Structure 1
């Protein structure tokens, strides 16, 4: 079990109705802690009928009943709307691609949930995230999970010292197959439950249909980087860099029969730019600029340093050099070209297994689609 040295204390576990949080609660109970489960409702059904919160709630109740744990319920849907969803919509409206899971962890699970746990008299919270925490020289560190394929430190990089001091990640040393085995051995209803995927409030429904409820569709032109019109799109908001699906581009005269990928968006002119080839030069960049960064230790390692980075979840580590600018933003140079680095997504920095922190990507030196010279853009 990962984290700082445990003492006998009250711990509130966020039980989501999934197998991971179920086993986290089980492990803490068996370790002798005074455990209470809390089910968080973060989204109010918008009338589409696709919300699975009630199913998850029933599973959370069943698990706590099986484990003999009390369960409480907290509605954070208003806080989620204001702290996460409004930002999600504004980013898409600006043509960027946000990552709501990162913001949800910072604003809901490790802020409002932590406050609710303390109101219940608990000294710590726990979740089913795959990550680890340790303490070195008086500072808490966020570490990758033992199961690198399930590691979720990428989504937790906005946490700080106070949050890590009060958080336990019981699954940090386990692999996913071990977690399912433990759940099955203890007869938990979630043992074989499918993992949730995608953005939590969208679920299994069509992303474009969901977003159209909040950002009205506006058709526009699909063009190649050199300006040739080859199709029409339903709205640039619905697409992200590197995307292949949903373009509906048929055969184009004079072009090979090869897949098309999104390589640029002009929000003001409502133009979507596409090119052929997964590794199109229009998707390649070696430098990026970020918003002011968050550092888990409270400060960066130095004003300029080398480390590895991920610009998307489950991406292999990429070597880079980081320069911290006067306003706290970052200028990052990669050792090799990166594909489809996307404004609005998170840049997360690592020193081995230690997550240093991260920032929102603002721009890159990838070629700006629609320009005559594909290499005259700069981060």
Structure 2
């Protein structure tokens, strides 16, 4: 019999929580950051190296994988875990966010979305039922409901209509998902920046019943202040005994602020995308390795970091390989960023367990305010 999906809340400190999500493919320590493996790969990284950074779970992208190489092909080849050589848990998004961003290429109805592929212009139909089928074929451990990600800004009546459509789709997703022991289905709260809509959405989702709950429709351009205002109340509307997932977040200070407000899971392309463009995250804030100030600097990015980029290479070397377009630049800077993100999650989990999360937050912001090391 498949091991059941389970969430054990182990400690709280204020609203911040730490625990363990148990799945058939291993445990996920929370708060958890999920690196994004859009097309069955975390760009510039081997799966075993992603694991070495401390990642317990990856995110795969329904929209991209349904277009290439197709969910049916992945299923025939043994499922997404086998296909990409990642044996630990995988969460797949529903495709709703990508479809939202294709405004000029899509048509939205009650039934679902008809859209043209950005790859070859071919026409596709994505419905709650088809999204559940694709995610089943991929073999995802955690499946997301199909929803319409409300764009920002949205008028109150537009946001309400969008949220209620997502709630009808949530019920259809639940019905289509069925009974799949060992696999989990998460509902997605919508409602933009409107508190009453968030409340209505949460009540709808709780009445349907899910294994976990996501806060959707944030990190879509509203800015950190507005996002935090919603997170001050939105997670509290969701069941305390189930994981809470903030979709598409974010920068390190976004993540710390979200955890402080009761969020357990996050994902973002930022650490890997930034690595490829020369932006590096450290305890003292972000730095750009492309800047000339690094070209003669023999010091590591961060002398306290144990990732291969910091252990074995100087800023001068990393500046050189970035400037010359060498592939090793993307590999090392992405590894560093993912390592930094996972180390941040570990530090938060420890702080919550030990009842010192407020002090952790103060130290985090104080250290970041120092800025990068002075030039030599």
When Rg is computed on C-alpha atoms for both structures, the one with the higher figure is: 1
Fold agreement, TM-score > 0.5: no
Higher helix share: 2
TM range (shorter): under 0.3
TM-score (norm 2): 0.25
